[in-house]
Structure 1
Amino acid sequence: MSRARKGVAVGLSLVALTAGATAGAGPAVAQPKAAAVAAADCSAAYRIEQKLASGTTWRMCWRYDSMAGLVLEDVTYQPKGEAAPIKVLNSARLGQIHVPYDDGQNEFDDLTGQNFAQDLMELAPGECPGGTIKSVKIPDGDPERPTVKGLCTTTRSRGHAYRMQGDTASKVYQAQGKDLLVYTVNQVGWYEYMTEWRFQDDGTVNMNVGATGSLSYDDYDAGDGRGWPIGKGLRSKATSHSHNVFWRLDFGLDGSSRNQIEQYDSAVTAPGSGDQAPTTKTTRTKVTKELAGNAKAYRWWRVVSATGKNKDWHPRSYEIVPGATTKYPGRSFTKHDVYFTQYNKCEKFASNNPGSCGAGAGASVDKWVNGETLTHPIVWMNVGFHHIARDEDQQPMPIHWQGFSIAPRDVTAMNPLTPDDLVWQNGHWQPRS
């Protein structure tokens, strides 16, 4: 793919996971005190605050980096029933978009090598329905474009948040979910990347990158001889390639960076017999050292607050929920799904990291996993997509998405969208009639 602008020539400890006993009704006990969370420290122009119809409020600051593009900072979540905002993230942004071509002729690091941030696209009014398009000043940008109206903040419906038939079948409990949507569009060569962040009213955060724009006609020769036919007959063949997208998340749960990482693995330990189901055991691994991790069946990770608990006295945490991915085996830094590294101000991008901090700073994320103790963990998520073009990719190319989510786990004592007449059921089981 030609990257010229359009129109221009071109130490682990293992602990058994046991279920806690469910307490019955009893005397009231003191509730845990939430850690104090400071208000987002940014001016009004760089503050995003949205109260959704359910009563949930998301707050954050934004800035624009000369390489990473949009950066969200001091992200807090306040559902109804919580007296104060709950800090979730110190910062969140892209960590790299790595694009190697199957024929071996080209390989790009779009954030640090292809002016991703500099080519922020102007958004048309209709591209941010019901929302606001903010003006963005691009550091080290084109002086002829001092600002770009390129940041959309709006709300979107996502369908059912939940549905439950009442015990007597006389009432249906249901709610339609709402999201705060924040997004930008950046052009790299013939591609346009939509980087979106969806903050749900139930506390979930979805991070996605969508690739759209055009297939590059410069690559219709499919130099590897194996490209997919585009157009009439076999004359034009588009070169296949991968998009390996990295995100960098710096958690600050309850206002502290001293979060803990835990890995959970489940396994069937005994086969079933007759009407008896197989038994399954889940174990928890405390990740105390830097780790390059791989997703597999029955495995997941969470980031745990070191300071805050919900009203049930359970430590607050966020679970990492990987999205669909095609792992690219061609480079060492793409061979793992997630990396947990100790914070280092020089470790900014997952590959082709700028070497401004001296020797070694230009290495890739896999080289930073060297056994250091995690006291301020950084999460690097890698989600891959192997793009084998098709006729329907022209013209323009339909958007194809890749991404993942972080979901609240024990951030609140119950579903933050629970109807008022069901709040008494916390920890109590009642049979249906």
Structure 2
Amino acid sequence: MSMTRIGRARQAALGLSLAALTVGATGAMHPATAQSKAAPATGPGCSAEYRIEQKLSSGTTWRMCWRYESEAGLVLENVTYQPPGEAAPIRVLTSAKLAQIHVPYDDGSIEYDDLTGAGFGQGLMNMAPGECPGGSIKTVRMPDAGEGQDRNVKGLCTTTRSRGHAYRMQADTGNKVFQAQGKDLLVYAVNQVGWYEYITEWRFQDDGTVNMNVGATGSLAPSDYDAGDGRGWPIGKGAKDYATSHSHNVFWRLDFGLDGSSKDKIEQYDSVVSPPAQGGMAPRNKTTVTRVTKELAGDAKNMRWWRVVSGTGKNKDGHARSYEFVPGATSKYPGRSYTKHDIYFTEYKECEQFASNNLPNCGTRAGKSVDKWVNGQTLTHPVAWVNVGFHHIARDEDQQPMPVHWQGFSVAPRDVTAMNPLTPAELADQNGHVEQGGGGEG
């Protein structure tokens, strides 16, 4: 490791040592023990200390368990969503966590795997007063850092936040407006890696959408002010102090288990626009669906999307429940085989935990990165890996401290409920075709 990642003076305040990082790496060799010594969250029976439950003002309740791994950091498990009108919680995710933050520098001098090679998990930060407005900060018991005892870090915030309009609709008659302001449950932690600090945020909306984001902040590493022309940006006075450009390729690992079953199905949708038919007024758009039955390294294209479909659960209309991947802005990095694709679907293997520099030994599944695991195996228990890239070309405004730059994606419910889960009572009978006055667009 270079001074960029471990040479920061205030790193000592974390109480870390190279021995501590070794403890983390060793723990990851055995996934069952790669976590704090606290009791693992295995389902609804997880203790109150490791349970998150929040009923939002709209009536939606999110429930989940959490634990902390020595490399991946925060892990959320057995995530359920219960909107108004549903008698029981609906399982959305069995497990969700970061799977890597890969940081290659433009000059080719160095690259990092921040989770499995630079002490991400050991860098959990105590939150200062005011960092969790309106919420509570949970204490995380960190594994023994080589000093003979665990550390307690006030490092996990759970709070709620308004997001603006959940919907708005003018009534057909009269002046009535149907509108509601949306509310979210936020769960987040801050991990320091060298000069950078990563905010790992999970945002659970009252309409069932889940947003996953990583925000990079902290400081630009002073040891990187040596970029040559075309590989950096001057942030000092005049043409000097060229901060080296680099990428942040963030991976997430999602094991859905919709409705409590691992037998999810994967579908890919592609739409193609063609010229108007003879005598027609407008172009035509045809959408085709492809069942993804074997492991896949997927590439995003215009009008392409994927969804995970429940193998067991249906909504009240009899439609299979599913979650759709909604990509965020990304800059795909072509420098490594595992960063060349936007999404991967692999068959579940316990040892496959990190998208690159995977620590456990996966035996016959050759290779230590997710692209090597896509080998045509039939999907019976699919795991999704999502890759979102950001090319960081520094600017004057990045000092000091560096504003947060976010990257991430969402998964949105598709047919999880029979109607908008926030539908007002007056409109509850308007399911399917509804006779309405007027006309026009919409």
Q: Which residue of 1 aligns with 2:166?
A: 161
Shift of 1:363: 1.5
- Look up the SS of the partner of 2:116 in the other structure: helix
CA distance in 2, matches of 1:245, 1:69: 14
Counterpart contact for 1:353–1:361, Cα < 8 Å: no
Q: Quick one: which amino acid aligns to residue 390 of structure 1?
A: R
Q: Map 1:8-407 to 2 at 5 A.
A: 40-141=44-145, 143=147, 146-223=151-228, 226-271=231-276, 276-358=281-363, 363-407=368-412
Task: Mark the runs of 5 or more structure 1 residues left unpaired by the alignment.
Answer: 11-37
CA distance in 2, matches of 1:371, 1:195: 32
Shift of 1:226: 3.1
Q: Quick one: which amino acid aligns to residue 103 of structure 2?
A: V
CA distance in 1, matches of 2:68, 2:416: 29
Deviation digits for residues 34-57 of structure 1 (CA, Å, limit 9, x no counterpart) = xxxx96231000000000001000
CA distance in 2, matches of 1:330, 1:152: 35
Deviation digits for residues 98-125 of structure 1 (CA, Å, limit 9, x no counterpart) = 0000000010000000000001000012
Counterpart contact for 1:154–1:180, Cα < 8 Å: yes
Shift of 1:254: 0.6
CA distance in 2, matches of 1:350, 1:199: 24
Counterpart contact for 1:347–1:361, Cα < 8 Å: no
CA distance in 2, matches of 1:46, 1:278: 53
- Look up the SS of the partner of 1:127 in the other structure: coil
- Look up the SS of the partner of 1:199 in the other structure: strand
Deviation digits for residues 169-216 of structure 1 (CA, Å, limit 9, x no counterpart) = 410000000000000000000000000000000000000000000001
Greater relative contact order (CA < 8 Å, ≥ 6 in sequence): 1
CA distance in 2, matches of 1:269, 1:352: 44
Aligned Cα RMSD in Å?
1.8
CA distance in 2, matches of 1:145, 1:389: 37
Q: Quick one: which amino acid aligns to residue 275 of structure 2?
A: A
Moved more, 349-358 or 364-373: 349-358
- Look up the SS of the partner of 2:9 in the other structure: coil
CA distance in 1, matches of 2:276, 2:300: 24
Over 3 Å counting, the alpha-carbon distance change for 1:430 and 1:39 in structure 2 is farther
CA distance in 2, matches of 1:39, 1:67: 22
Shift of 1:235: 1.9
Deviation digits for residues 304-328 of structure 1 (CA, Å, limit 9, x no counterpart) = 0000000000000000111100000
Shift of 1:145: 5.8
CA distance in 1, matches of 2:98, 2:246: 20
Shift of 1:139: 2.7
- Look up the SS of the partner of 2:220 in the other structure: coil
Counterpart contact for 1:92–1:250, Cα < 8 Å: yes
CA distance in 2, matches of 1:39, 1:186: 26
CA distance in 1, matches of 2:277, 2:206: 40
Q: Quick one: which amino acid aligns to residue 52 of structure 1?
A: L
CA distance in 2, matches of 1:39, 1:78: 16
Q: Which residue of 2 aligns with 1:24?
A: none
Q: Quick one: which amino acid aligns to residue 372 of structure 2?
A: K
CA distance in 2, matches of 1:80, 1:149: 33
Residue of structure 2 aligned with 1:6, choices 5, 8, 11: 8
CA distance in 2, matches of 1:362, 1:183: 31
CA distance in 2, matches of 1:353, 1:125: 36
Q: Quick one: which amino acid aligns to residue 261 of structure 1?
A: I
Q: Quick one: which amino acid aligns to residue 411 of structure 1?
A: V
Shift of 1:270: 3.5
Shift of 1:86: 0.3
CA distance in 1, matches of 2:301, 2:382: 22
CA distance in 1, matches of 2:279, 2:162: 45
